[in-house]
Amino acid sequence: MTTDRITGTKTSASTGLRAVVRIEGLRKSFGSLEVLKGVDLEVDRGEVVVILGPSGSGKSTLLRCVNLLEKPTAGTIYFEDSCITDSKVNINHIREKVGMVFQSFNLFPHLSARANVALAPRKVLKRSHEEADRIAIEQLEKVGLGDRVEYLPAQLSGGQQQRVAIARALAMDPHVMLFDEATSALDPELVRGVLDVMRSLAEAGMTMIVVTHEMGFAREVADRVIFMDDGIIVEQGSPTEVFDAPQHERTKDFLGHIS
């Protein structure tokens, strides 16, 4: 899989603060079920954080709290210099700068790849038709889909769809990218193409929070690995620390099951 290097995504970030995302005491309950039980996390600019953990540990919920797809029950979340848990903040403005990639792609099925990518730049960033199309084609070329711009999602493979979804998020020029098991829905032979795109994105300096079960990717690309279980961060550190010398029983257990 050949993928152009993705570059230039950091230019728009210019605040003095190092942390792009800062989470303090985050709690989230669904009814009586408490899913996040107090999470503190800081992600620096250009940092790639990989979150691991067993199913149901709250990884997706944590990620979805960062762009308020889930409303936190308690705690505060800062994005750059704004406190997004403050009800006065216009969350749509924050979301423009927080890209998200879903396990199930969630492409707009009625729109071509190009139109999928161009929609938000046009409607949200108020770019002209031509400008939005130019951005869309550029982003699709970067994820290796320059020859598929007019295809409908249903005409693309799962891997190609997921790369369109990544291009769609990147077209908004985000300051951080959230990946929620971006490759879990893919057939094994399609996983690599998507991981290649994510890897070059990381190399280009994009700030990323990645939930994945791809241990190889985590070890290779992550600046920091976080292990979550039962709604809390159990352990974190560099890939070598977490993978080769896990401190906690639960981490050892989890990594033992995986490999």
- Residue ranges binding other proteins (CB under 8 A): 67, 69, 92-96, 98-100, 102-110, 119-120, 123-124, 152-155, 158, 161, 165, 168-169, 172, 184-187
Q: What angle do CA 50, 212, 97 make, to 5 degrees?
A: 65
Residue 124, CB half-sphere, CA atoms under 13 Å: how many? 17
Out of ligand ATP, other proteins, Mg ion, none, what residue 61 binds, judged by CB under 5 to 8 A for its kind, is ligand ATP
- Residue length of the chain: 259
Give the relative orientation of helices 158-170 and 113-123 as an angle to the nearest 10 degrees.
20
Torsion of CA 100, 104, 106, 110, to 10 degrees: 160
55 binds ligand ATP (CB under 6 A): yes
Interface of this chain with ligand ATP, residues 34 to 53, rule: CB under 6 A: 35, 53
Contact positions vs Mg ion (CB under 5 A): 60
25 binds ligand ATP (CB under 6 A): no
Backbone conformation region of residue 75, classed left if phi is above 0, alpha if psi is from -120 to 50, else beta? left
**Residue 36 Cβ vs other proteins, minimum distance, rounded to whole Å:** 17
Q: What is the DSSP string of 210-239?
A: EE-S-HHHHHHH-SEEEEEETTEEEEEE-H
56 binds ligand ATP (CB under 6 A): yes
- Report the DSSP pairing between strands 232-237 and 19-30: unpaired
Query: E strand or H helix at 59, and its extent?
Result: helix 59-66
Q: Which of 3, 60, 116, 200 binds ligand ATP (CB under 6 A)?
A: 60
Out of other proteins, ligand ATP, Mg ion, none, what residue 186 binds, judged by CB under 5 to 8 A for its kind, is other proteins
59 binds ligand ATP (CB under 6 A): yes
Q: Which of 9, 57, 183, 212 binds ligand ATP (CB under 6 A)?
A: 57
**Residue 34 Cβ vs other proteins, minimum distance, rounded to whole Å:** 17
d(CA 114, CA 152) in angstroms, rounded, equals 9
Closer CB to ligand ATP, 54 or 239, in the complex:
54
Q: Point out which residues bind ligand ATP (CB under 6 A).
A: 30, 33, 35, 53, 55-61
